[in-house]
């Protein structure tokens, strides 16, 4: 059972446009949410580790927000570039689970076209 859902499954963005997508997770017993960027033929790489309701994190043109009370996190890409093309994964950890028992979403595949 996939308790962590990401939407949309995929999206196409024109270079220079901004976009955002969602990770939904159970709103009870929150411990942590991670975002990872996964380029084709490479390994997932961490973007953000988020632990507090209201957290906002930023790395370059990519930012994320966290709402643990309603169970969602948004990832934003501002001014998309072709190098932003990747699958973006979120990973959720329950407070009732031992550290490391992450549940990953299926990912949002982003394709940025010039």
Partner 1 sequence: NAGVTQTPKFQVLKTGQSMTLQCAQDMNHEYMSWYRQDPGMGLRLIHYSVGAGITDQGEVPNGYNVSRSTTEDFPLRLLSAAPSQTSVYFCASSYYTGELFFGEGSRLTVL
Query: Which residues lie near partner 1 (CB under 8 A)?
Result: 2, 4, 32, 34, 36, 42-46, 49, 51, 89, 91, 98-107
Q: How far is the CB of 28 from partner 1 (least distance, A)?
A: 19
Distance CA 20, CA 63 (A): 9
Gap between the Cα atoms of 42 and 27, Å rounded: 31
- Closer Cβ to partner 1, 69 or 101, answer by number: 101
Nearer to partner 1, 71 or 105 (CB): 105
Q: Assess contact for 94 and 28: CB atoms under 8 A.
A: no
Residue where the block lists tokens 């990973």 = 91
Please report how close the Cβ of residue 87 comes to partner 1 at its closest, in angstroms. Answer: 10
CB of 22 to partner 1, least distance (A): 15
Closest-CA residue to 88 (of 33, 38, 13): 38
């Amino acid at each position: 059972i996939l308790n962590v859902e990401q939407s949309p499954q995929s999206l196409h963005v024109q270079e220079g446009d901004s976009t955002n997508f969602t990770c939904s997770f159970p709103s009870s017993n929150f411990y942590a949410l991670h975002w990872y960027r996964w380029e084709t033929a490479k390994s997932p790489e961490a973007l953000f580790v988020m632990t507090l309701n209201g957290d906002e994190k930023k790395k370059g043109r990519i930012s994320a927000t966290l709402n643990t009370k309603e169970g969602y996190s948004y990832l934003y890409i501002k001014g998309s570039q072709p190098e932003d093309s990747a699958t973006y994964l979120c990973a959720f950890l329950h407070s009732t689970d031992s550290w490391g028992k992450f549940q990953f979403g299926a990912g949002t595949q982003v394709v940025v076209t010039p």
